[in-house]
């Protein structure tokens, strides 16, 4: 907008439609102006934006178009596909539970605890968010592998060996997915009004009762969103899983691994499994729609 001072009538700030040299106009007219302005998008920008959108959406469209819809039930009923599907659902769910059990206390510690070096710790626990998953897998091997710094004692003392087992899949998925939950819950804990917890204390509630009956319900939306994100991330995990747990059908071959391996032997099965993962992703997006697609909504 060019010059506000040429307006004959004072216009409240934040009224972009009142154009220079014009008296304020009727609302209907104003709206017309606004859309006219929206139509003045520079063509270069519009073109580049459309290309980018096409780049993001075309592959997905390709997947949907190329999918062997008619054979889909048969393909997904194959033992390999069925096993991968079941294993993925089970391991992602277990990983999410693990994340909830360990991640919520960690989030509480980061939000409310009085641990030294808290901000450093906060930065470190989000490292798996940006770490290449393969690197995560290698790191897990070095820590929990049969000769890893922790794994050797697990093996020697308890006879537990995580690598190349379903438990290893769960560990790998939890490692990669936990930051999603921690970041979401920590943000909610930090923004929750702690005076409600004080009110609970004056009513005789212990800290645990306060957490369960006051804090938890107040952070429930963030907790649910974090858990859904966490589960989706665990379901799609590839790099850390294949590095740490390998790819044994029935025990460690999750859907993403099955898709990758089937691409050579049975492309139709790969596409069918990929389609399932895409459907899950879309469902997650729909679940989180309010949080993500609303302007000013919580990020992550």
Partner 1 sequence: MRPAGVGGVDDARTGGAGGVSGEGGGGDRALRAHVMVARPSGFTLDVALTVPPGTVTALLGPNGAGKTTLLRALAGLLPIDAGQISIAGRVVDDPAAGVLVPARHRAVGMVFQDYLLFPHLSALDNVAFGPRSRGASRAASRQEARRWLERFGLAELAGRRPGALSGGQAQRVALARALAGEPRLLLLDEPLAALDAATRLAVRAGLRRHLTDFAGPSVLVTHDPVEAMVLADDVVIIESGRVVQQGPPAEVARRPRTSYVARLVGLNLYRGEARAGTVHLPDGGAIAIADTAVAGPVLAALRPSAVVVGLTEPHGSARNTLVGTVTGMEPLGGRVRLAIEASAPVLADVTAAAVAELRLTPGMTVWASFKATDVDTYPDVSAPPAGADPATTAPAGPTG
For residue 198, state whether it binds partner 1 (rule: CB under 8 A). Answer: yes
Measured from the CB of residue 220, what is the shortest distance to partner 1 in angstroms?
A: 8
Of 70, 147, 195, 294, which one interacts with partner 1 (CB under 8 A)?
195
For residue 51, state whether it binds partner 1 (rule: CB under 8 A). Answer: no
3-state secondary structure of 300: coil
Residue 127 or 199: which CB sits closer to partner 1? 199
Judge whether 258 and 236 are in contact, CB under 8 Å.
Answer: no
Neighbours of 79 (CB within 10 A): 9
Looking at residue 132, what DSSP letter applies? Answer: -
First to last CA, the chain: 34
Residue 121 or 218: which CB sits closer to partner 1? 218
Q: How far apart are CA 187 and CA 108, in angstroms?
A: 10
Residue 29 or 213: which CB sits closer to partner 1? 213
State which of positions 202-231 bind partner 1 (CB under 8 A). 202-206, 209, 213-214, 217-218, 220
For residue 67, state whether it binds partner 1 (rule: CB under 8 A). Answer: no
Judge whether 81 and 269 are in contact, CB under 8 Å.
Answer: yes
Query: Closest Cα to residue 185, out of 122, 240, 235, 92?
Result: 122
Residue 71 or 198: which CB sits closer to partner 1? 198
For residue 200, state whether it binds partner 1 (rule: CB under 8 A). Answer: yes
Judge whether 274 and 215 are in contact, CB under 8 Å.
Answer: no
Number of residues that bind partner 1 (CB under 8 A): 18
Binding site for partner 1 (CB under 8 A): 193, 195-196, 198-206, 209, 213-214, 217-218, 220
């Amino acid at each position: 907008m060019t010059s506000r001072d040429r307006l004959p009538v004072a216009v409240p700030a934040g009224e972009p439609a009142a154009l220079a040299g014009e008296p304020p106009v009727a609302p209907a007219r104003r709206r017309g102006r606004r859309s006219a302005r929206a139509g003045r998008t520079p063509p270069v920008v519009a073109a580049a934006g459309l290309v980018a959108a096409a780049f993001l959406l075309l592959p997905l469209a390709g997947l949907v178009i190329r999918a062997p819809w008619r054979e889909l039930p048969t393909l997904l009923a194959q033992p390999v596909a069925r096993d991968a599907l079941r294993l993925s659902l089970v391991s992602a769910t277990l990983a999410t539970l693990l994340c909830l059990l360990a991640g919520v206390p960690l989030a509480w510690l980061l939000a409310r605890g009085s641990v030294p070096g808290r901000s450093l710790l906060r930065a470190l626990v989000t490292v798996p968010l940006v770490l290449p998953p393969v690197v995560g897998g290698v790191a897990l091997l070095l820590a929990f592998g049969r000769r890893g710094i922790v794994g050797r004692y697990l093996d020697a003392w308890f006879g537990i060996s995580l690598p190349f087992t379903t438990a290893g899949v769960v560990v790998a998925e939890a490692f990669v997915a936990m930051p999603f939950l921690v970041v979401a819950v920590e943000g909610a804990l930090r923004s929750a009004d702690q005076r409600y917890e004080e009110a609970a204390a004056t009513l005789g509630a212990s800290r645990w009762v306060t957490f369960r009956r006051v804090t938890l319900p107040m952070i429930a939306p963030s907790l649910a969103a974090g858990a859904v994100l966490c589960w989706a991330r665990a379901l799609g995990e590839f790099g850390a899983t294949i590095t740490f747990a390998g790819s044994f059908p029935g025990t460690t071959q999750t859907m993403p691994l099955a898709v990758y391996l089937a691409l050579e032997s049975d492309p139709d099965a790969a596409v069918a499994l990929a389609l399932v993962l895409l459907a899950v992703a879309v469902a997650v997006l729909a679940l989180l729609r309010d949080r993500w697609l609303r302007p000013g909504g919580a990020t992550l």
